[in-house]
A and B are shown apart, each in its own frame.
Chain A
């Protein structure tokens, strides 16, 4: 409409308004300009009535005008003096505060949640999240310091105060070029990645949550807050809470109420990148209705940035459209569109992948999927077997009584007509077997390994004969017995029973049965313990397929298989794949709180990160795993010992021998108490500690530890097992350093012969070669050492 049209509309408006109702159409028709006619018709059709009829007024307006004249301002919240109101909205208000006790000169932002939200619930969620969020220390993430509730019951959260401008505004005001915007964005991705590695998903990433300080440092706000503020951790389509979801940046899975993962943050990052490059977000909504938002986000295709930029982009300032279009076409189009794909699994696998691709683009390299370049950094470290669990008497008994539960589940396969009888018979059979088994154990014998062993052997000897009539129960018990042997590191006995259980289940229950798949998982654990990694992986993938088919993709069985698969992949140094499945396992296990299962996955993920050389992140995960295990198991437990040893190895990898040493000593004591002197799991701690001592020149002590490790491994492992070979080579290295060259030479030769065993994978062989090179160096054979270094590095 033009000013002239408005004038005509005004004249017409009053003419038509004053006309009798019957004459109105005729009056309207006198206007030749259709736009003017339509405009006046619209005005008269829906009269303004009270619209704007009285001046804006009221206490809300006054408060808005007053800005900082809130009753909280000038008072205190917890230990903080409240200086002024920073902002307010649907969830409550944010204040600027400073330590009132003068403890530090620290300015904070205090978010006070408005009345009406459930304080107890919110605080409970906050406490649940607190430890995770407290770990989230990163220069580009605004830290969450504290939380509590006001005397009137309103909860509040205390966060790092950031004095900066929203990302988009910062870029526009400084007139940043595309490359500068990309660099800033990469820093944002890295911060998001850091949070993801610490298992925190933002869920509400948007430019308003990313402030850039005057120095150009981006800071991400409100990490983890969405989860704390969110009632049940998930939003449904109908319950989509538009106050909390910003449709422009919300992923399809968020608006559909599907589970939100790190992929949702990757999506939001993609939208933010789109906006940074183009000057507007990819989608436009006709209305803000739920249906419209859902339709647009889930079923329309966004224009590539280079096409969208032709529509004039004020936010990109003076940059010529043609130049901008040229910059965006190709790589950047591809990168952005990949990040905002509708299917989470087809986006970048992580914020880091997205960042890496942008960096490739910036360096003029072709944009590709990122290749594994981190694999071998920590290759010299001996790895622990994260899966093998130790057996104490309690654990063994638990394993056996767990059969009760398994048998209970197997009721599902009962035939309708005699279901009750079968179930009762099975339970009775189990109860009798357990009773008889337990009576063979001397209740005064204590919990040393011999008695566990004795109970197991007794049970194993009787199982074939006594339970022949109950093959399903027999298989369940076999599985429990096999697992217990696995814990005792008696791999031959474990194999007999686990394989027996598997074959029995396959025959009776068929291949697509829960219990059959479970047997596959057990067998995979055995193969993992024996370093037969390819076979372990194959079995886990088969089990995964079965569980997915019969139970869907999100349940404890899947979490367990993914966890184990992660350990197996990491042992193969396929760290990126390992990290992916372990993250999934953690996400599935986390909702149940701090469980042993979660600790197991955290520990495995920590090991994977260590293999990748990401030691700090690794340490924080293993520390958390250790805390969970301590709180659930007490100090004297094999799993606590395992996590302690892992922390020690981590400290050693960081070069912090002073911290590593007491941890090693502690782990050795705990292991001996919980596993017994002869358990091969001790060998890992012994040889890692020996490596520390060797590095300090304490060869005599190292030698005695390596000798003990070798003894344990010789007893438990196959002769060609790379861990055994490397133990022997380490011992040879000690001996060479002590001047006992002949002994060293003979150990070296024996190891190198076995290293050619066809049972070893190329990766395992390389690790043996690397150990051999160290031994040769200790023997003063520089040429030989160089040769084996080369063999270890060869692909």
Chain B
């Protein structure tokens, strides 16, 4: 089967005012957060599709790079402070987490349109580049939900670090806490999730 010469979708125009949404979100407007999510979600998918379509599809391309690329395309350089960017990365991390989870469940549910895949193919999840790092995404998602119920900040740290690939410093900026605090949250959260998931599916 010849590879299709599918051209990337042109960037939608006019560009949605993501900067405005970010500012509203950081001033505590929940509607803005809700509007932000699908924009980030779609942009991530579009970028990933471009990378997949171009033959050089990076084995090395990290989610981090993808998220930053999406940020640059939607918001542009400069201007917005890290405080405001926090909402963007939060949305991106959640979007990636959700997409991968859906994928792991073999659902591949398209976000809009709500069509279900008429397939019985059983899931074995996306293949991660490093097999030693193979993580059961469904179990991780369950464990993350449990952690979020006890300490939402720790769960967000994990999301930003693992799914959006933020550094400790970036995470600290986004969450407006010290690097030391993020580091402490991160270490504890990993240990807690690891123990929780090793324990199996006990409630």
Contact = CB atoms under 8 A, between A and B. Distances in A.
A758 interface: no
Interface string A67-80: 11111111101000
A151 interface: yes
Interface stretch (A38-46, A272-280, A508-516): A38-46
Contacts of A42: 195, 198-199
Contacts of B188: 10, 13-14
Contacts of B121: 87-94, 111
A52 B135 contact: yes
A47 interface: yes
Contact of A65 (B4, B45, B119, B129): B45
B4 to A, nearest CB: 4
A103 B130 CA distance: 45
Interface stretch (A53-61, A349-357, A721-729): A53-61
Interface stretch (A206-214, A435-443, A678-686): A206-214
Nearest to B49: A69
Given A69-B48, A111-B119, A64 B6 contact: no
Interface string A133-174: 000000000100000001110000001011111100100000
B52 A62 contact: yes
Contacts of B128: 56-58, 60-61
A87 B45 contact: no
B31 interface: no
A77 B150 CA distance: 50
Interface in A83-123: 84-94, 109, 111
Contact of A46 (B45, B184, B195, B201): B195
A10 B66 CA distance: 33
A94 B52 contact: no
A164 B113 CA distance: 11
B115 interface: yes
Contacts of B63: 55-57, 61, 65
B72 interface: no
A62 B60 CA distance: 10
A204 interface: yes
B175 interface: no
B64 interface: yes
Contacts of A162: 118
A370 B106 CA distance: 40
Interface residues of A, number: 82
Contact of B198 (A6, A46, A150): A46
Nearest to B101: A64
Contacts of A84: 110
A109 B119 contact: yes
A460 to B, nearest CB: 60
9 contacts: A13-B188, A58-B59, A61-B63, A71-B4, A72-B1, A88-B121, A89-B121, A94-B121, A152-B1
A89 B119 contact: yes
B150 A94 contact: no
B163 to A, nearest CB: 6
Contacts of B198: 42, 46
Interface of B: 1-6, 44-45, 48-53, 57-64, 66, 96, 99-100, 103, 106-108, 110, 115-124, 126-130, 132-133, 135, 150-151, 158, 161-165, 184, 188, 190-195, 198-201
Contacts of B124: 89-90, 243
Nearest to A51: B194
A211 B119 CA distance: 10
A1 interface: yes
A39 B51 CA distance: 43
Nearest to A94: B119
A499 B135 CA distance: 73
Nearest to A219: B118
Given A85-B108, A221-B118, A70 B194 contact: no
A48 interface: yes
B46 to A, nearest CB: 9
A23 interface: no
A287 interface: yes
Given A46-B195, A221-B120, A286 B200 contact: yes
Given A55-B163, A69-B50, A90-B124, 12 more contacts: A43-B194, A51-B193, A55-B165, A57-B62, A57-B128, A58-B128, A58-B130, A62-B51, A65-B45, A88-B106, A163-B118, A169-B116
Given A43-B195, A92-B121, A286-B200, A57 B165 contact: yes
A295 interface: no
A246 interface: yes
A66 interface: yes
A6 B151 contact: yes
9 closest A-B pairs (Cβ-Cβ)? A58-B129, A87-B117, A69-B49, A89-B121, A55-B165, A74-B4, A65-B48, A60-B127, A69-B52
B108 A87 contact: yes
Nearest to A114: B121
A166 B117 CA distance: 9
Contacts of B158: 52
A244 interface: yes
A788 to B, nearest CB: 57
Given A6-B150, A57-B129, A88-B108, A69 B58 contact: no
Contacts of B162: 52, 55-56
Contact of A58 (B5, B103, B127): B127
Contacts of B122: 89-91, 243-244, 246
A3 B150 contact: yes
B63 to A, nearest CB: 6
A42 B59 CA distance: 35
Contact of B191 (A13, A74, A286): A13
Contact of B123 (A3, A53, A89, A165): A89
Contact of A72 (B4, B62, B184): B4
A66 B51 contact: yes
B108 A163 contact: no
A57 B64 CA distance: 8
B81 to A, nearest CB: 23
A59 B116 contact: no
Nearest to B114: A165
Contacts of A5: 150
A209 to B, nearest CB: 5
A472 to B, nearest CB: 55
A50 interface: yes
Given A55-B161, A59-B59, A62-B51, A87 B119 contact: yes
A782 interface: no
A60 B120 contact: no
A86 B51 contact: no
Given A43-B191, A221-B118, A64 B126 contact: yes
Interface string A279-320: 000000011000000000000000000000000000000000
Contacts of B52: 62-63, 66, 69-71
Contact of B118 (A7, A54, A65, A211): A211
B118 A161 contact: yes
B148 to A, nearest CB: 11
B118 A74 contact: no
A22 to B, nearest CB: 21
A74 B53 CA distance: 11
A320 to B, nearest CB: 24
B100 A56 contact: yes
A53 B187 CA distance: 10
Contacts of A60: 126-129
A600 interface: no
B107 A87 contact: yes
A2 B115 CA distance: 38
A244 B108 CA distance: 19
A89 B120 CA distance: 9
A222 interface: yes
B194 A61 contact: no
B115 A163 contact: yes
A67 B99 contact: yes
B191 A47 contact: yes
